[in-house]
Chains A and B, each alone.
Chain A
C-alpha cells in the first residue's frame, strides 16, 4: 500500500470515527443540526480528498489518450 493510498482511510475516520464526538444538535451550521452538518462536511471533504488522490496517482495519467 502506497502512502497516498492512506488518504482513502481519512473519509472513514471523519465520517464514522468522528461521530461519537459530534453527536449533538448545537451549534446549527447552515441551518443543520451539528451532527448532520458534520456528515455533510465530510461528504464534501471526501470529494476533495478523492480529487487530490486523482492528482497524485500516476495511474490516472495513463490511458488518458484512449
Chain B
C-alpha cells in the first residue's frame, strides 16, 4: 500500500469515526432528522445547497468532459446559475406550503397538493429510479479514485466494490444527515484542491491560463467553441433548460428546501450561490490542461484525466490528498442519495401499501433497503460504460418530468388534477426510459432535419409529451364528475 492510498483510507476511517460520533447522544425522530426542525438560516442552507451539488461529478465529470468534449462542458456553469435564478420564485411557495402542512418529503408534497397517495408512490418511484444513475456516478467516481491512487495495484472493479461497501457502511452507521463535520471538511477540501489544481497545472505546464488555451486551440481548432452539429448550441440551450427545471426536483434537494427558517433564505442565497459555481471554472482548467499532457483517454476514460494528470505531476502524498477530497465528494452526497432513496421507498411506498406499519418498522425497512439500493447501483456501475456526464443527464431527464405537475400545482387553485399529473409524469418518464434503452436521439428519428432541431436534448420531447398528456387528461377527467355525479364520491380514496 502506498502513501496515497494510506491517506485516502485514513480519511475514510476518520469519516466513519465522525459518523459514529455524530450518532451518539442524539435521539431525534424522523422529522427532526430530515428537516432539522425548519430552523436553518441563510448560511446553513447555502452550505447545504451549495455542498449538495459538488459531488464526484464536479470533480471528475466536469474535468472529464472538458477533456473529451471541450466547450459543451460549459453547460454545467450555466445550468447551476440559472437554476438558482428560478429558485427565487419556485422555492418560497414550496417552503410555505410545506410548512403549513408539516411535510417532510417531496413525495409528501404531491400527496398533499393533489390529495393522492398513489401519485405520491409514483413520485417516490421516479425519485428513486433517478437516484440510481446519480449513485452509479458516485460509485464510479470512487472506483476511479481508489484504483488510480493505488497506481494500478487495485483493479477498477475491485475499487468499485471497496467504494460501495464504504458508502453503505457509512450510511448505515451515520443515518440520514451523516455527520455535519464530514460535510464541512468535504466542502473546504474540495474548494482548495480544485482551485489549487486549476491554477497550478496550467501555470506549471504552459505558464498560464491563456497559453494553455492557445495550445489546445492550436492542436484542436474548434474544441473551445460549440460545434456546428452534435453537442451544438441547440443542444446546449435545450440541455441547460431541462437541467434547470430538474435541479430542485431531486428528492434530496427538494427535501433540503423544507429545512429553511423562512422563505427569504432562498431569495438571499440567489445572490451568492451563482458566484460559488465559478469553482467549476477551475475544474475545466484542469480538464483542458490534461488534453495535451495525458492524451489518448477515450470515451468514459476521459473521467480519469484529472487524476492521471495529478499522478504525473505530483508526489504520492499530494495525490493522496486529492484522492481523499474526491472520496469525500462521493461519500457525502452518495450517502445522502442512498438514505433518501431508502426512506422514500419505506415511507412513501411501503407505508402507503401497509398503513398499519409503525414508525420503528418503517425505520428498520429503510435501513435494510440501503444495501439493496447499493447492490442495484453496483450492478449498473460494473455493467455500464457511460461517462459521468451521461449518467447525470439521464437522472436529470427523469426528475425533470416532475417539474410540470409541480409548477402547475403552486397556485392555490390547481391548474391540473391528480389524474393529469399522474398521466403526465408517467408518460414523460416512459419516453425517457424508452429513449435511454433504445438509444434514440432526435437525430436518428429525423435524420434530414436541420441540426438546430436534431441536436435538441431528447428530454425536451419527453417534457412536451408530459405537458400535453397532463393537460389533456386533466380536461377529459374534469368532465367525469359532471357526466356522472356519483363519481365524485370516490374522491379522496387512495385509488388515484
Contact A40 B77 (CB under 8 A): yes
Q: List 28 A-B contacts (CB under 8 A).
A: A5-B89, A8-B85, A8-B89, A12-B85, A15-B240, A16-B78, A16-B236, A16-B237, A16-B240, A19-B236, A28-B213, A28-B214, A31-B208, A35-B225, A36-B281, A39-B77, A40-B278, A43-B277, A44-B275, A46-B81, A46-B82, A47-B271, A47-B275, A50-B270, A50-B271, A50-B274, A54-B268, A63-B264
**Cβ contact within 8 Å between A15 and B225:** no
Q: How many angstroms from the CA of A31 to the CA of B288 in the assembled complex?
A: 13
How many chain B residues touch A (CB < 8 A): the figure is 41
Interface residues of A in 1-27 (CB under 8 A from B): 5, 8, 11-12, 15-16, 19-20, 23-25
Of B81, B275, B277, most A-chain CB atoms within 10 Å: B81
Indicate whether A47 sits within 8 Å of B272 (C-beta atoms), given known contacts A35-B225, A35-B226: yes
A35-63 interface mask toward B, CB cutoff 8 Å, 1 = contact, 0 = none?
11001101110110111011001011011
Contact B224 A43 (CB under 8 A): no
Smallest CB-CB separation from A45: which chain B residue? B274
Interface residues of A (CB under 8 A from B): 5, 8, 11-12, 15-16, 19-20, 23-25, 28, 30-33, 35-36, 39-40, 42-44, 46-47, 49-51, 53-54, 57, 59-60, 62-64, 66
B233 at the binding interface (Cβ < 8 Å): yes
Residue of B213, B241, B263 touching A33 (CB-CB under 8 A): B213
Query: CB-CB < 8 A to A53: which residues of B?
Result: 88, 267, 270
Contact B262 A63 (CB under 8 A): yes
Residue pair A43, B208 in contact (C-beta under 8 Å)? no
Q: Are B274 and A43 in contact (CB under 8 A)?
A: yes
In the complex, whether B71 has a CB less than 8 A from a CB of chain A is yes
B261 at the interface (CB under 8 A from A): yes
Residue contact A51 to B271, C-beta cutoff 8 Å: yes
Shortest distance in angstroms between B410's beta carbon and chain A's nearest beta carbon? 14
Q: Are A54's CB and B224's CB within 8 A? A: no
Most buried by A among B213, B274, B275: B274
Is there a chain A Cβ closer than 8 Å to B84's Cβ? Answer: yes
- A32–B275 Cα distance when bound, in Å, is 17
Q: How far is the CA of A54 from the CA of B261 in the complex (A)?
A: 18
Q: Are B268 and A11 in contact (CB under 8 A)?
A: no
Report which residue of B78, B240, B262, B267 has the largest number of chain A beta carbons within 10 angstroms of its beta carbon.
B78
With contacts A35-B224, A35-B225 known, is A42 near B81, CB below 8 A? Answer: yes
The answer to whether A62 and B213 touch across the interface, beta carbons within 8 angstroms, is no
A46 touches B84 (CB 8 A): yes
Most-contacted residue by chain A among B85, B92, B213, B226 (CB, 10 A): B85
Q: Does A23 lie within 8 Å of B81, measured CB to CB?
A: no
Is B217 an interface position by the 8 A CB rule?
yes
Binary flags per residue of B274-291, CB closer than 8 Å to A gives 1, else 0:
110110010010000000
User: Please, which residues of chain B bring their CB within 8 A of the CB of A44?
Assistant: 274-275, 278
Cα of A7 to Cα of B281 in the assembled complex, Å: 25
Closest-by-CB residue of A relative to B240 is: A16
Residues on the A chain within 8 Å of B77, using CB? 39-40, 43
Specify which chain B residues have a CB less than 8 angstroms from the CB of A63 in the assembled complex.
262-264
**CB-based nearest A residue for B284:** A36
Residues of chain B within 8 A (CB-CB) of A62 are 264
